[in-house]
Structure 1
C-alpha cells in the first residue's frame, strides 16, 4: 500500500477550499466590489466631473454600488442589512482609496517622472492644509530648493519656476486659466474679469476695463488721489512724534487697504468708504475682505467643491459679509448714478449713455473691485517703506532724487515725470520683487485636446494644472543675483548686475495680466514720493527689523505684520553742501 504525503493532503485541501470560495457568494461580492472600484476610479480620473454632474457621479459610482452589493449579499450576513451596508461601504471606500493612491504613486501616472513630496502626489488636500497655515510661499520655496525648478505638488498639479516657461504658460494658448478662478462664481452665473476662464469672454470684458484704466481716465482719478493722500497726510501730522504702527495705519486707513479701499471706494462707488475720517475700520471691511480672499484661496485648492460653494458661503461669515458688502455698494452706486467719473462710470460707458449691466454682473465686478484693492498696493507700500528704513543709504538716494526734481507736493500731483525717475522706479520694482501681491502666483490648465506640451524641457500632459509661484521666482538666484533675498534697487540700474526682467512678473503678463497695473504704479509712486517728501520715519527701537519678513502670510494675497515707526514732520530742505562722489547729501532740519 502506498502512503500519501501529508504535504500533498494539505495542498489538496487548500485547493478544495479555494475552489469552494471561488464559487461562493463571498467571492462574487469580492469580484463585484473590485470591478465597481476600478470602474469608479477610471470614471473620475478620465472625466473629472464638475458642476451639476458631480453629484450625479457621486450617487452613481460611490453611493449606489456598495448599497446594491450589501442588498444582494445581505443573506451572507444572516439578513442583517445594517451590518452588510457597513462592511460593504468600508470595503468599497477602502479599496477605492487604495486604488487611487497606488495609481498616483505608480510609474504609470503621466507625472510619475517629476519629483515632489509623496503626500502631495496623493492628494491636493495637503495643499489645502498648507494654505491654512498662511505659509504657502515659504513651503513652495523649500520644495524648489529640494526638488529643483519643476515640482509635482498634487496628483495633476505642478509648480514651475523657469523664466523661459512664462511665454508658454501665460499666453492665451494652449494653456487657459485654471478652475480655481471660477470656483466662487455661481453655476450659470456671471463672474468678475479675474474669474473669466474663456479667453474670448475675457477679451470682451477686458476692453471695458482698459477704457477705465487708460491715460485719460487716470488723469480724472488724480483728484481723488490728491484728496485722499492729503487726508492721510493730515492724519499722520496729528500723530507727529508718536510711535505708530504704519502697517496697521496703511491697512486700516490709508495706503494699504484704507487708502486703497477709500480710493477704490471713491473710484468705484462714489466715496462709499470714509474710513480716513475716523481712522477706524468700524464695520470690519478689511477683515471681511481678507476673509473672503482666504475663502477664495482654499476653495480654489479643491475646485470640485464648486457646487457646494453657495451653501458654504451661507455659513462662512467673511464670504457672506463680503457678498453683502458688494451688493450694498453696487446698489447704492446704481441708484445714485454718475456723480463723478469713477471706475463704473467708464465700465458702464455712462459718458455715452451706455446700457447698464445686468445686476448680477454688476455685483460680480463689485466683488472683483473690492477684492483687487485688498492688501495689494498697501502691502507694497508698507514693504517698500520697511526696506527703505532698514537701508538708510537707499532712503537717502531716493530722497535726493525726489528733492532734486520737486520743490513741493503740488508739483508731484501735477507732474507726469514720476514714472521717469530711475531710482524711484528701481525702488518700487525691488519692493514688488520681494513682496509680490500674489505670492503663489497664477495657475494655468492644459485642457484635453491641447496637449501634451513641452515646457522647460518637460512633457506636460493634458489635464495638468501648472502654477508659477511669484515669491519663489522673484528670489531665484538664477535671475536675481547677487543676494536675491536682499533689497538692492541698484540691480535695476547697474548694467553689470541687471536682473533677468523676463522673470519679473508682479502683475503677471499676457492677455490676462493685471488690468490695474498702471493704476497701482501711479498710486505707489505718488504716495511714496509725498510721504518721503513730507515726513521722516524711524523704526521703533524695540522692533525686530530682521524678522519682519517672517510675518508675511500668503492667503491668496500677501499680508504682513506690524511696522512700529516714529513719524515726524520736519522742515525738509536740500542743504548741501557736501560733494561726495558727485552726489549731494540731504539733511533734515
Structure 2
C-alpha cells in the first residue's frame, strides 16, 4: 500500500494535482455555498481574481462582471462584490464589526501598520496614536513644506519652458506624470521623513535604501519600486498563502515585485534612521508628519517603537505619494480633454489670487468652489482607489442582510468604487463624462454625496484626507496659475492597477504664462478696448445730436 502511494507521488501528475487541490481549497473548505453568479472560474478558485490583478485590470474585470451579471458578483469563492451604493454603510460603516480580510496580509513588510492591521483592538490603538498627526492644527503646519516643494515644481517647469520650447508650437513637451510623481514624492518625503527626496531638483527618480539601520546605503528608483510593490501585493492579496513561495514562481513579476517590497521598506528605514540620529533630534524644529508620529502616545502613554514608527512612516509614504500624483495627472488629463474647463479654472484662480502671487496659499484657494468641483469630479471619474476594499464578516457574527442578500460569518464582501462612481443610476446619463458642475450645491444630490467614496468611509477611512485635499488644492492653483497645457498624445490616457489605479503617462505640451499673468494683461487690454469703443460710440452720438 505504502509503495503504491509512493509510486503515485513520483508520477508526472502529482504536481498538477497538488496545484489544483491547493487552488481549489478556498472552495472546498467553505462551510456554506454562495449561490450567486460569477465569471468562470471565480466561483471555484481565487485564481481568476489573481489573474485579473496580474494583468493590472481588476477594477475593469469586476466592472464588466457586474455589467453582465448584475448587482451581486462572486469574484472569489467566498468574496462577493456588491455594486450598490446602499451597501456602502452596511459594509464599511461604523458599528458593523466587519474586519479587513486576509487580502491585507500581502501588504505587510516591516510590521503591521495602520493600513494593514486587521485586528480591531490593535487598529484602535494605532489610530489613537496616529490620529493627532492629522488634526486641523497639524495639517495647517504641514502647508509650509507642501508650499516649498510646489514652488520648486513651478520653477523647474518654467526652466523647461525656457530651454525646451519648440518655436513652431510654442510648447515644451513633457510627460506630466513624471513631474507629478517627483512633486508628490518630494512633498511626502518632506512631510514623512524630514526632507524631500530631491527628485524635483534632480529631475529624476532616485532614493536611498537601507535593509537595516546599520546597513550601507544603496539606491533605487522609488517611484518604480512603489509601483511594483503595489502590483505584486495587490495580486498576492488574492491568495496571501502564496506570498512565501512567490519568489520561486517562473513569472519574474513576482520576484521583482517582492524585491520592490523590500526596497520600499529599505527607503523608509534609511530615512527614519537619518531622522532619529541624536544630533538631528536635538536640533529638530520641524512640525511634520514624522515629528507628530514621534510625539504620539497610545492609551497607556507609550510612544511608537522604532520599528512601528518606521512602519507608520512607510504607510504615509505609500498613502501620500501615488494617490496625489495619480490624481494630479488624471485631473490634468480630464481638464484638458473637456472643453472650457481649463479656461474656467484659470479664471476663478486669477480672481482669487492677488496679482504677483505665483504659488497661492491654501487660504487663497480653499473657498474657490470650482477648484473643489474639479478635484471631486476627478476623484469620481478616475477613482485612484478603484477596487472594492474587501471586508470579512468575523467568526461568530450572526447572518447579515446586505441589499436583500444574506451573508454569513467567513464571507468577504466589498463595494467596487470604480463601478459605483460610474453608475448611471446614481450619477445620471452623463456618468461617463467629466462634469465638474455636477458638484454645485443646487445639482448634487444626497445620494451622490453618500456614494462618493474616494477615501473610503467608516472607521477604516483614510486618516490623511485633509492633507490630501489641501495638497491637491494647492497643486491645482499653482499649475493653472502659471501654465497653459495641451495634450500631445493621440490616444486616451492609459491606466494600470496595482493597489491603486495609476496613469501610465501623459504626454503634454507646456507653456509658461509668466509671473504677471499674460491672461490678465489681455483681459485688461480687452476691457480697455471696450471702453474705447464705448467712448467713440458715445462721441459719435454726441456729434450727431449736435
Shorter-normalised TM range: 0.7 to 0.9
Taking structure 1 as reference, are residues 88 and 378 closer, same or farther at Cα in structure 2, changes over 3 Å only? closer
Cα distance, 1:268 vs. partner? 1.4
Q: Is the counterpart of residue 159 in structure 1 residue 102 in structure 2?
A: no
Partner of 1:263 in structure 2? 187
Partner of 1:58 in structure 2? none
Q: Is the counterpart of residue 340 in structure 1 residue 279 in structure 2?
A: no
Cα distance, 1:494 vs. partner? 6.3
Q: Secondary structure, in 3 states, of the residue corresponding to 2:510?
A: strand
Taking structure 1 as reference, are residues 409 and 218 closer, same or farther at Cα in structure 2, changes over 3 Å only? farther
Partner of 1:195 in structure 2? 116
Partner of 2:393 in structure 1? 446
Partner of 1:362 in structure 2? 309
Q: 2:151 aligns with which of 230, 236, 250?
A: 230
Partner of 1:55 in structure 2? none
Unmatched segments (≥5 aa) in structure 1: 1-69, 580-589
Pairing 1:99-498 to 2, within 5 Å after superposition: 109-112=32-35, 114-172=36-94, 173-185=96-108, 190-240=111-161, 241=165, 242-250=171-179, 255=180, 257-282=181-206, 283-305=220-242, 316-335=258-277, 336-337=280-281, 338-349=284-295, 356-408=303-355, 410=357, 413-416=360-363, 418-493=365-440, 495-496=442-443, 498=445
Q: Is the counterpart of residue 505 in structure 1 residue 434 in structure 2?
A: no
Quick check: 1:183–1:309 contact (8 Å CA) kept in 2? no
CA distance in 2, matches of 1:120, 1:267: 42
CA distance in 1, matches of 2:306, 2:222: 22
Cα distance, 1:317 vs. partner? 2.0
CA distance in 2, matches of 1:145, 1:170: 23
Taking structure 1 as reference, are residues 345 and 488 closer, same or farther at Cα in structure 2, changes over 3 Å only? same
Q: Secondary structure, in 3 states, of the residue corresponding to 2:363?
A: coil
Q: Secondary structure, in 3 states, of the residue corresponding to 2:384?
A: coil
Taking structure 1 as reference, are residues 372 and 130 closer, same or farther at Cα in structure 2, changes over 3 Å only? same
Q: Secondary structure, in 3 states, of the residue corresponding to 2:390?
A: strand
Q: Is the counterpart of residue 526 in structure 1 residue 450 in structure 2?
A: no
Unmatched segments (≥5 aa) in structure 2: 166-170, 207-219, 249-253, 528-546
Taking structure 1 as reference, are residues 484 and 347 closer, same or farther at Cα in structure 2, changes over 3 Å only? same
CA distance in 1, matches of 2:500, 2:23: 36
Which of the pair has the greater relative contact order for Cα pairs under 8 Å at 6+ separation?
A: 2
Quick check: 2:176–2:508 contact (8 Å CA) kept in 1? no
Q: Secondary structure, in 3 states, of the residue corresponding to 2:425?
A: coil
Quick check: 1:290–1:374 contact (8 Å CA) kept in 2? no
TM-score (norm 2): 0.82
Output one character per residue of 1:522-565: Cα deviation in whole Å (capped at 9) or x when no partner.
0100110111111111222xx225x22xx111111111132222
Q: Is the counterpart of residue 569 in structure 1 residue 512 in structure 2?
A: yes
Q: Secondary structure, in 3 states, of the residue corresponding to 1:183?
A: helix
Quick check: 2:26–2:78 contact (8 Å CA) kept in 1? no
Bigger radius of gyration among the two: 1
CA distance in 2, matches of 1:164, 1:315: 36
TM-score (norm 1): 0.76
Quick check: 1:293–1:371 contact (8 Å CA) kept in 2? no
Quick check: 1:103–1:109 contact (8 Å CA) kept in 2? no
Task: Please give the root-mean-square deviation of Cα atoms over the aligned residues, in Å.
Answer: 3.2
Partner of 2:501 in structure 1? 558
Output one character per residue of 1:410-456: Cα deviation in whole Å (capped at 9) or x when no partner.
49644525232221111110000011221113110011211310001
Quick check: 1:313–1:319 contact (8 Å CA) kept in 2? no
Cα distance, 1:296 vs. partner? 1.6
